[in-house]
A and B are shown apart, each in its own frame.
Chain A
């Protein structure tokens, strides 16, 4: 476990399979996500064949909860700092992101295509202002947050529930998270159409975000879409099928796509 200083935050990160060749960085989803989301079900199996870097995005897991910087450009800059910290800046890496983590990975890919080999977007909710913001919009007061915790965190009890409640309170009332998510529009079609990298889109058949996957499939030039029998929380609901898809996609032989770029 290592701490990485980025713009206004400290990010917790870990590195699995360090001596292996190609590298993949995995990004988790918003609020309840952290390195543990990917860790045992997908990241450790993948690390048998490749180097896997995990990190807690700002405001999550063991990372600090800064007051700002939850917009996609800031979070893509965090990702760049994580890649640099692990000594991977000179080589194209694979990126795998779920939900908000997928949107961060996609923004990074559009800004730094030469740093990217392959991209996996798992149930990317693009645009987040339509898919993510509505579930957060009603949380405008501590009482509303208590209701949100009651209704959305049904499986959590005791200490874990209290800790997540505290985290949400800091994120919702002490940071720009809500405002930043509300400002997250779709990536422009022209930029998506110019991303000359292989992209695997994995969506849950019952996910409310499925239309976003279909749009990305139509717009990204080298994308393929795989549907799994689940909803939005693909990592928890279909871990084995997701692991197999990601492993196969990242294991495709051939030179990194860097040489193909214009």
Chain B
């Protein structure tokens, strides 16, 4: 995986930890393969907050709302952290 992807994966993991903001998530080992549903057991509202925090970070560089649009919340919760990071890596230009 590229540095671009790794940087974005780190950012996504940071947003997950700050949004959930409970003791256990700070120590939980989160990787690309970690799934929001089965591994993290996050609530749908928490996924929405994570997506919103990522959107706020990238601003107009990223259209996360457009990407999520029309998917069911269960489909989104079923994603892995790496799948979300891959979408962002493909949408956001690499920093020079």
What A residues does B69 contact at CB under 8 A?
40, 44-45, 47-48
For A227-254 the 0/1 string (1 means CB < 8 A from B) is 0000000001001000100000000000
A40, A61, A158, A160: the one contacting B70 at CB < 8 Å is A40
For B43-61 the 0/1 string (1 means CB < 8 A from A) is 1110111001100100000
For A52-82 the 0/1 string (1 means CB < 8 A from B) is 0000100001100000000000000000000
What A residues does B65 contact at CB under 8 A?
16, 44, 47
- Asked if B41 is at the interface (CB within 8 A of a chain A CB), the reply is yes
In Å, the complex CA distance between A196 and B70 comes to: 32
What A residues does B71 contact at CB under 8 A?
40-41
- Asked if B95 is at the interface (CB within 8 A of a chain A CB), the reply is no
B42, B49, B56, B68: the one contacting A62 at CB < 8 Å is B49
In Å, the complex CA distance between A158 and B41 comes to: 7
- Asked if A163 is at the interface (CB within 8 A of a chain B CB), the reply is yes
In the complex, chain B residues 1-28 whose Cβ is within 8 Å of any chain A Cβ: none
Q: Would you call A40 and B45 a contact (CB within 8 A)?
A: no
Count of A-B contacts judged by CB separation below 8 Å: 62
In Å, the complex CA distance between A36 and B43 comes to: 9
In Å, the complex CA distance between A56 and B43 comes to: 14
Taking A14-B52, A44-B65 as contacts, is the C-beta distance between A239 and B72 under 8 angstroms? yes
Q: Would you call A163 and B48 a contact (CB within 8 A)?
A: no
Number of interface residues of B (CB under 8 A): 21
In Å, the complex CA distance between A243 and B72 comes to: 12
Choose among A37, A40, A157 the residue with the greatest number of B CB atoms under 10 Å from its CB: A40
Q: Would you call A36 and B68 a contact (CB within 8 A)?
A: no
- Asked if B91 is at the interface (CB within 8 A of a chain A CB), the reply is no
Name the distance in Å between A225's Cβ and chain B's nearest Cβ: 25
Q: Would you call A40 and B41 a contact (CB within 8 A)?
A: no
In the complex, chain B residues 46-96 whose Cβ is within 8 Å of any chain A Cβ: 47-49, 52-53, 56, 65-66, 68-73, 75-76
In Å, the complex CA distance between A45 and B42 comes to: 23
Q: Which residue on chain B has the smallest CB distance to residue A38?
A: B73
Taking A16-B65, A41-B72, A239-B72 as contacts, is the C-beta distance between A36 and B44 under 8 angstroms? yes
What A residues does B70 contact at CB under 8 A?
40-41, 44-45, 243
Q: Would you call A44 and B45 a contact (CB within 8 A)?
A: no
Q: Which residue on chain A has the smallest CB distance to residue B74?
A: A236
Q: Which residue on chain A has the smallest CB distance to residue B47?
A: A36
Name the distance in Å between A13's Cβ and chain B's nearest Cβ: 11
In the complex, chain A residues 133-179 whose Cβ is within 8 Å of any chain B Cβ: 157-160, 163
What B residues does A34 contact at CB under 8 A?
44-45
- Asked if A220 is at the interface (CB within 8 A of a chain B CB), the reply is no
Q: Would you call B73 and A40 a contact (CB within 8 A)?
A: yes
- Asked if A35 is at the interface (CB within 8 A of a chain B CB), the reply is yes
Known contacts A35-B48, A36-B48, A44-B68; 4 further A-B pairs (Cβ under 8 A): A35-B45, A40-B76, A47-B65, A47-B69
- 20 A-B contacts, Cβ less than 8 Å apart? A1-B56, A14-B52, A16-B65, A35-B45, A35-B48, A36-B44, A36-B48, A36-B73, A37-B73, A40-B68, A41-B72, A44-B66, A44-B69, A44-B70, A48-B66, A48-B69, A157-B41, A160-B42, A160-B43, A163-B43
By a beta-carbon cutoff of 8 Å, the part of chain B in contact with chain A is 41-45, 47-49, 52-53, 56, 65-66, 68-73, 75-76
